């Protein structure tokens, strides 16, 4: 099994079922908050009680289970930054339960004032959705790691 949490290959392009479309809309709703810088605004109702949040790569990979623990861990992890935003660039349905979001990060160092977008981060987020709830969110700071994990080509 890969870091993405699935041993299934991605479905062919154009894969859509009513459930996959609902999942895609849920992920879009969550990422709308992220883009506005409201990383902790998404409602707990959108997340499974045993939701798993994974930072798959980057300077300090982590895994947190449960919405409250994930929010606490992410707050700590992001504490050196302010005005943090996740900007979605593309959404890809991989199958009936997974949506890949190609995104970039924006932030400013609290002490340095350095803007993160000066060091462009081409990231990806893999959202697992089941029964209308996000069960797992895997963040890749390096988009190519997501592609490799999922067996996809850019």
The answer to whether residue 6 sits within a structural domain is: no
132 DSSP assignment:
T
The answer to whether residue 65 sits within a structural domain is: yes
pLDDT digits (tens, 9 = 90+) for 67-121: 889 889 888 888 887 877 889 999 999 999 999 999 988 788 888 887 766 555 7
Parallel/antiparallel/unpaired status of strands 133-140 and 47-55: parallel
The answer to whether residue 41 sits within a structural domain is: yes
Paired with 153 in beta bridges are none
* Number of compact structural domains in the chain: 1
Cα 126 to Cα 6, 108, 129, 139: the distances in Å are 11, 24, 10, 6
Measured CA to CA, the distance from residue 119 to residue 128 in angstroms comes to 28
Give the global pTM: 0.81
94 Cβ contact partners less than 8 Å away, ≥ 6 residues apart: 10, 11, 15, 100, 126, 150
Per the prediction, the chain carries an average pLDDT of: 83
The answer to whether residue 5 sits within a structural domain is: no
Cα 4 to Cα 64, 77, 102: the distances in Å are 15, 21, 14
The answer to whether residue 86 sits within a structural domain is: yes
Q: Residue 126: pLDDT band by 50, 70, 90 thresholds?
A: very high
Query: Is residue 53 within 8 Å of 73, Cβ to Cβ?
Result: yes
Containing structural domain, residue 139: 18-149
Q: Residue 15: pLDDT band by 50, 70, 90 thresholds?
A: low
Give the pLDDT of residue 66. Answer: 92
The answer to whether residue 1 sits within a structural domain is: no
Q: 131: domain CATH number?
A: 3.10.450.50
13: Cα within 13 Å, side-chain hemisphere: 3
The answer to whether residue 129 sits within a structural domain is: yes
The answer to whether residue 94 sits within a structural domain is: yes
């Amino acid at each position: 099994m890969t870091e993405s949490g699935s041993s299934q290959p991605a479905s062919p392009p154009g894969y859509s079922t009513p459930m996959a479309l609902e999942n895609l809309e849920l992920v879009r709703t969550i990422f709308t908050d992220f883009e506005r810088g409201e990383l902790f605004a998404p409602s707990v109702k959108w997340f499974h009680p045993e939701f798993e949040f994974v930072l798959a790569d980057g300077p300090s990979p982590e895994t947190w289970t449960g919405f409250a623990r994930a929010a606490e861990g992410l707050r700590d992890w992001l504490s050196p930054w302010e005005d943090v935003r996740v900007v979605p660039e593309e959404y890809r349905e991989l199958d009936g339960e997974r949506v890949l979001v190609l995104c970039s990060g924006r932030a400013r160092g609290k002490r340095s004032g350095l803007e993160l977008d000066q060091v462009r981060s081409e990231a990806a987020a893999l959202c697992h959705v089941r029964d209308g709830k996000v069960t797992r969110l895997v963040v890749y700071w390096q988009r190519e790691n997501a592609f490799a994990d999922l067996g996809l080509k850019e």
